[in-house]
Homo-oligomer: A and B are copies of this chain.
Amino acid sequence: MGIEERKERERERRRQQIMVAAKRVFSEKGFSKTTMEDISREAELSTGTLYLYFKNKEELFASLSFRILQYLLIRLEHVTKETDKGPVEKIAALKDAMYDVYEFDPLIIINMFHLQSSETLMNLSPQILSDMKEMSKKAMREMAKIFQEGIAEGIFIEKHPHALTDIVWSMFSGLVLWEESKRIINPNKDFLKPTLDIAFDILIRGIKRSEEPS
């Protein structure tokens, strides 16, 4: 029964081949200006074939986002595992992880945030949607750990860790999108890094319990 397995491998290969081509084109042209024909040309396949592996354009794009989220999750798990770091340092590491992921492919990240909408998500197949849901749940849970730890240690004030996670994530995605749209007016200026630093400074100050004499 080796044939079935090889076929499965080949199928996965082709899927990856399409994703590699798609990533190239999307990164260069952005989501809406990329056509399925562009991708099929880049992948040296016909348009029809793309639809054998991905339900539609959105789903193909979502698969790329999924890979990036996978990578982010690994980075986050690494951060929470570092036992030598305290919660405050872990939040700084969290920021770095997020920023690194952004830098890895800004355009895919930007578009990912744009497509993170009901209009788009509802076009995905239940399988992919549930995979994405699972992945982001895991990432959020990982981040929440840091806040839980800080609260447990009495370093952070008592707020729902999940709410804090939502805030961090929103702040990050919001800043990425806002700085990107500011760049249209001022193409040379990129304040993402410094603004993100300030945002995290404030966040840490804001959740830290005011030191009291012991």
Chain A residues engaging chain B, CB cutoff 8 angstroms = 30-33, 110, 113-114, 116-119, 121-122, 133, 157, 159-160, 163-164, 166-167, 169-175, 177-185, 191, 194-195, 198-199, 201-207, 210
Contact B163 A195, beta carbon cutoff 8 Å: yes
Contact A30 B113, beta carbon cutoff 8 Å: no
Contact A185 B114, beta carbon cutoff 8 Å: no
The CA-CA distance from A180 to B118 in the complex, in Å, is 7
Question: A174 contacts which of B163, B173, B180 (Cβ < 8 Å)?
Answer: B173
7 residue pairs of the A-B complex, CB under 8 angstroms, read: A114-B114, A116-B181, A169-B174, A173-B177, A174-B175, A205-B206, A205-B207
Residues of B within 8 A of A205 (CB): 157, 205-207
Task: Give the distance to chain B from A175, nearest Cβ to Cβ, in Å.
Answer: 4
Residues of B within 8 A of A184 (CB): 118, 121-122
The CA-CA distance from A121 to B182 in the complex, in Å, is 10
Nearest chain B residue, comparing its CB with the CB of A199: B167
Question: A163 contacts which of B110, B160, B198, B210 (Cβ < 8 Å)?
Answer: B198
The CA-CA distance from A174 to B166 in the complex, in Å, is 9
Contact B121 A117, beta carbon cutoff 8 Å: no
Contact B171 A171, beta carbon cutoff 8 Å: yes
Contact A117 B199, beta carbon cutoff 8 Å: no
Do A166 and B181 form a contact, CB below 8 Å, given A32-B119, A205-B205?
A: no
Question: A178 contacts which of B110, B119, B166, B202 (Cβ < 8 Å)?
Answer: B166
Task: Give the distance to chain B from A168, nearest Cβ to Cβ, in Å.
Answer: 10
Residues of B within 8 A of A116 (CB): 177-178, 181
Contact B117 A110, beta carbon cutoff 8 Å: yes
Query: Which 5 pairs from chain A and chain B are nearest by CB?
Result: A174-B174, A206-B206, A170-B174, A202-B206, A205-B206
